[in-house]
Amino acid sequence: MCGIVGYVGNGQAAPFLLEGLSKLEYRGYDSAGIAVYDGQIVNVDKSVGRLAALREKIGKDMPQGTLGIGHTRWATHGRPSDRNAHPHADCSGDFVVVHNGIIENYLSLKEELIEKGHHFQSETDTEVVAHLIEDVYDGDFLSSVRKVLQRIEGSYSLVFMSKKHPDELICTKQDNPLVIGLGEGENFIASDIPAIIGRTRQTFIMADGEIATVKKDSIKITDRSGNVLKKKVFTVNWNAEAAEKGGYEHFMLKEIMEQPKAVRDTMRERITKDGSGIVMNELKWDKEYLKSFNKIYIVACGTAYHAGLVGKYYIEKLARILVEVDVASEFRYRDPIIDEKTLMLVVSQSGETSDTLAALKEAKRRGAKTLAVTNVVGSSIAREADAVLYTWAGPEIAVASTKAYTTQLILMFMLALYMAEILETQTPTRIKELIDLLKNIPGQIGETLSDTEPIKTFAKRYGFNEDVFYIGRSLDYDVALEGALKLKEVSYIHAEAYAAGELKHGTLALIVEGVPVIALATQKSVYEKTLSNIKEVKARDAVVIGIAADGDEELIKYVDHVITVPQTDELLIPLLTVVPLQLLAYYGAITRGCDVDKPRNLAKSVTVE
């Protein structure tokens, strides 16, 4: 995720660009930049760090001009730096672009353009777009942009600016958001409504494949073939705060809802074109070296630790390598058995959790190779690890982690498949079958999110209970742990997860009439055993909400309510069953009037031991 803005009009561009970017910082904040055309040249100012650093750099010398674009970055290709900050220009400086998304085929385009004599300044994927338009430019701005779009693959929202066309900006999008704000004698472009809401409430919400030529007093929207489209004006009636949350009441809900896109972005570029294999270019080691690991340690905290538990299951099941999982705050105090044949996998959304970072350093000291699964490019953990797999979930603002968890699962599943391929522990047919099912997951998460009403009802009905239990076996137990953590941290309800088979070893004593038990029953090999545990709690008059796969006709006979998720392989089903649990926690917290995005005593990034 990044934030982009554009201005064309009678007024000065820079004040709007900076004001707009400040409203988009939630989309990314590792560097920022603006480009303003002053009538002779395009002045580009950029700075690593938050927008405040750019403001400081610009100081009182605000660039003058009525045409401009700006960007606040959440790094994907190329670490945060002045050089990698947007806007990016072509060789001549005549064309400047800002981009949100990923140009998947940038490497081959870059090679081609370098061969033609183009000079690149940054490590970004975006810069190819600036050089590409320089390369294909035929005197007509719009037709040149169309030619660029024919060459690039991936996800993007893009704004193009050229000093050859000082009265207009061209913008377009594919799989990333873009809006145009309609003003009087001026028009605005932005990734999202918060950036423009201070200037106008009249907007066009751009759709994939649409291209807009935006001038100060006209906006022409065409499709990729050049056909002019008529669009309806959308009047925004949200307040500024709601706009920042995409119209949702809280970041947590927004981030839960973003999961289909987040997991799609995690997979992007990591599946071979024919869908038969996994691409992990980020792993620096060759396949023979990867084969030499005889143990994997997964170390993390909180939700990331829960993701690690699922990761263990994936890697052991698919790649047949022994995996130990540990919480980072325990790991380094137990004199762990680690050597150069150990791969240390640290999982951390923020990449800054101090216990996880310390564990990573300790593993390195003991000779292990280290691999980070993180969401934040250039974070301490990303810098320290020998190799990094980024989740590409975009910034997670709510303290309670949601999209980070699902994207971590996706990445560890893909890593397990990749290792299975190398170690030949699964047949090519099975790998292809799992990849096919993986590709369905974004849509299936979307389906799971499409009807939240039953979950709201349960949350209202059971939100005032002081204790809630979560049970499951195998992968269902791992998801139960995450469900319970979500509920306790945002709603302050005492929630515990148990391996269903463990109940009778003590916890069953707590199950009395009316206690809510959330029972996950999706794993075929232990299904009957889970049913018998459910019967145990029902016999003590618990109220049981079952979580099952579509088509399960059995579970409803033994529980009070059932929530179903779409069918998939049981390895992938945690990606779906966690979603109702996240929603239950969210609506439970709402029922109790809790401050969902900022739960008491908790911080988003735990940088102290």
Indicate which residues carry an active-site annotation. 2, 604
Q: Which residue has the tokens 């039953």?
A: 454
Does residue 174 bind ligand F6R (CB under 6 A)? no
* Token digits of residue 520: 């996950």
Q: Give the one residue of 5, 344, 400, 459 binding ligand F6R; rule: CB under 6 A.
A: 400
Write phi, then psi, for 469 (nearest 5 degrees). Answer: -115, 145
Q: Are 9 and 216 in contact (CB under 8 A)?
A: yes
Does residue 304 bind ligand F6R (CB under 6 A)? yes
Rama region for 424: left / alpha / beta (φ>0; ψ in -120 to 50; rest): left
**Ordered strands of the 295-300 beta sheet:** 322-327, 295-300, 342-348, 369-374, 387-390
Q: Output the residue with the shortest Cβ distance to ligand F6R.
A: 302
Distances in Å between the Cα of 191 and the Cα atoms of 28, 269, 354 are 12, 23, 33
Q: Which residue has the tokens 């989309």?
A: 27
* Token digits of residue 279: 């691409």
Nearer to ligand F6R, 238 or 248 (CB): 248
Neighbouring residues of 488: CB distance < 8 A, sequence distance ≥ 6: 494, 495
Find the part of the chain contacting ligand F6R (CB under 6 A) among 46-54, 290-298, 343-351, 428-436.
Answer: 343-351
Nearer to ligand F6R, 266 or 426 (CB): 266
Q: Give the one residue of 66, 122, 303, 564 binding ligand F6R; rule: CB under 6 A.
A: 303
Nearer to ligand F6R, 191 or 350 (CB): 350
Find the part of the chain contacting ligand F6R (CB under 6 A) among 101-109, 169-177, 349-357, 577-585.
Answer: 349-357
Q: How far is the CB of 264 from ligand F6R (least distance, A)?
A: 21
Q: How far is the CB of 602 from ligand F6R (least distance, A)?
A: 8
Find the part of the chain contacting ligand F6R (CB under 6 A) among 38-46, 344-352, 520-528, 546-554.
Answer: 344-352
Find the part of the chain contacting ligand F6R (CB under 6 A) among 35-43, 345-353, 362-370, 581-589.
Answer: 345-353
Nearer to ligand F6R, 145 or 376 (CB): 376
Find the part of the chain contacting ligand F6R (CB under 6 A) among 86-94, 197-205, 225-233, 342-350.
Answer: 342-350
Q: Give the one residue of 43, 66, 348, 568 binding ligand F6R; rule: CB under 6 A.
A: 348
Nearer to ligand F6R, 485 or 543 (CB): 485
What's the CA gap between 233 and 179, in Å, rounded?
11
Assign 3-class secondary structure to 551-570.
CCCCHHHCCCEEEEECCCCC
Q: Which residue has the tokens 């490497």?
A: 107
Nearer to ligand F6R, 408 or 567 (CB): 408
What's the CA gap between 145 and 211, in Å, rounded?
9
In the region spanning residues 478 to 497, those forming contacts with ligand F6R, defined by CB under 6 A, are 485, 489
| Helix 475-491 with 302-314: angle, nearest 10 deg | 170
Going by DSSP bridges, is the β-strand pair 467-472/516-520 parallel, antiparallel, or unpaired?
Answer: parallel
Q: Are 351 and 382 in contact (CB under 8 A)?
A: yes
Does residue 350 bind ligand F6R (CB under 6 A)? yes
In the region spanning residues 352 to 371, those forming contacts with ligand F6R, defined by CB under 6 A, are 353, 356
Does residue 349 bind ligand F6R (CB under 6 A)? yes
Find the part of the chain contacting ligand F6R (CB under 6 A) among 191-199, 213-221, 301-309, 311-319.
Answer: 301-309
Q: How far is the CB of 310 from ligand F6R (least distance, A)?
A: 14
Q: Are 145 and 137 in contact (CB under 8 A)?
A: no
What's the CA gap between 522 and 577, in Å, rounded?
9
Q: Give the one residue of 6, 302, 308, 394 binding ligand F6R; rule: CB under 6 A.
A: 302
Distances in Å between the Cα of 609 and the Cα atoms of 23, 154, 330, 358, 592 are 32, 40, 11, 9, 31
Nearer to ligand F6R, 280 or 400 (CB): 400
Nearer to ligand F6R, 187 or 370 (CB): 370
Q: Which residue has the tokens 């790649």?
A: 319
Distances in Å between the Cα of 420 and the Cα atoms of 276, 278, 347, 426 are 13, 10, 20, 6
Count the residues of the shown chain that bind ligand F6R, applying the rule CB under 6 A: 15
The residues with which 221 forms a beta bridge, in sequence order, are 212
Does residue 148 bind ligand F6R (CB under 6 A)? no
- The mark string for 448-477 relative to ligand F6R (x by CB under 6 A, - otherwise) is ------------------------------
Q: Which residues contact ligand F6R by CB under 6 A?
A: 301-304, 348-350, 353, 356, 400-401, 485, 489, 605-606
